[in-house]
């Protein structure tokens, strides 16, 4: 009798596991079916069709590439540097740094931009980077501790990447060019930029000597 009950219990357990297994397999097949169906639909769409569909999904707006303070700094940089350098604004690191696409090296800088990129006007290094100038204004670190930590990390990585390839970076801090927290002092700004210009020229002369 006990042996008979044991056989029944064992039979029930086996049937249960077969049922669960078939249910899981069925779920897996169903999931693969819908995944393949979505992939087929995605692949049938051309890149143009997908892009147009994505564009229609939300509103795309035009925005300024510089704020009022950055604009003021830009024209002062232009005044002091224009005879020796080209001044480029809001430049992606991918525009002037090169690494194999998709590698860890490429990933280390792909998302970064610089406020002002100085490039040589003439000579063997024509249009190659001479230096980077960044402005850390009042809103540079955002309005939260999380944002501040993220920006600090990104600034550190930027510095390391530029240092690795031999491009000097100069930081203009708000307190260096303002008498108060509201307005940029033109005299202070010019003096600081003249100092930066002299440092860049000094570094170039050292390379030549």
Domain coordinates in residue numbering, the chain: 2-56, 68-208
pLDDT at 50: 87
Q: What are phi and psi of 154, to 5 degrees?
A: -65, -40
Report how far residue 187's alpha carbon sits from residue 193's, in angstroms, rounded to the nearest whole number. 10
Helix and strand numbers, DSSP H then E, in the chain: 8, 4
pLDDT at 62: 96
Q: Which CATH number fits the domain 68-208, given the four candidates 3.40.1350, 3.30.420, 1.20.1250, 3.30.70? A: 3.40.1350
The answer to whether residue 156 scores a pLDDT higher than 80 is yes
The answer to whether residue 37 scores a pLDDT higher than 80 is no
pLDDT band at 46 (very low <50, low <70, confident <90, very high): confident
pLDDT band at 140 (very low <50, low <70, confident <90, very high): very high
The answer to whether residue 27 scores a pLDDT higher than 60 is no
The answer to whether residue 44 scores a pLDDT higher than 90 is no
pLDDT at 169: 98
Task: Specify the pTM.
Answer: 0.75
pLDDT at 17: 57
pLDDT band at 111 (very low <50, low <70, confident <90, very high): very high
Torsion from C-alpha of 167, 172, 173, 174, nearest 10 degrees: -150
Pairing of strands 129-136, 168-173: parallel
The answer to whether residue 146 scores a pLDDT higher than 90 is yes
Report how far residue 12's alpha carbon sits from residue 1's, in angstroms, rounded to the nearest whole number. 17
Q: For residue 33, what is the DSSP state?
A: H
Report how far residue 106's alpha carbon sits from residue 93's, in angstroms, rounded to the nearest whole number. 10
């Amino acid at each position: 009798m006990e042996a008979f009950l044991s056989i029944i219990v064992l039979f029930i357990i086996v049937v249960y596991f077969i049922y669960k297994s078939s249910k899981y397999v069925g779920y897996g097949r169903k999931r693969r079916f819908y995944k393949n169906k979505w992939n087929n639909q995605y692949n049938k769409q051309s890149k143009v069709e997908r892009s147009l569909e994505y564009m229609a999904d939300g509103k795309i707006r035009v925005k300024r590439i510089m704020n009022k303070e950055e604009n003021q700094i830009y024209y002062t940089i232009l005044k002091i540097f224009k005879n020796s350098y080209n001044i480029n604004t809001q430049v992606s690191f991918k525009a002037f740094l090169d690494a194999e696409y998709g590698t860890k090296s490429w990933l280390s800088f792909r998302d970064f931009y610089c406020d002002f990129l100085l490039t040589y006007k003439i000579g063997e290094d024509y249009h190659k980077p001479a230096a980077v100038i960044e402005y850390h204004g009042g809103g540079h670190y955002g309005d939260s501790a999380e944002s501040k930590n993220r920006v600090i990390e990104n600034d550190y990585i930027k510095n390391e990447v530029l240092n690795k390839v031999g491009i000097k970076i100069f930081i203009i801090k708000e307190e260096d060019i303002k008498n108060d927290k509201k307005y940029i002092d033109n005299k202070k700004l010019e003096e600081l930029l003249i100092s930066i210009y002299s440092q860049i020229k000094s570094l170039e002369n050292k390379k030549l000597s």
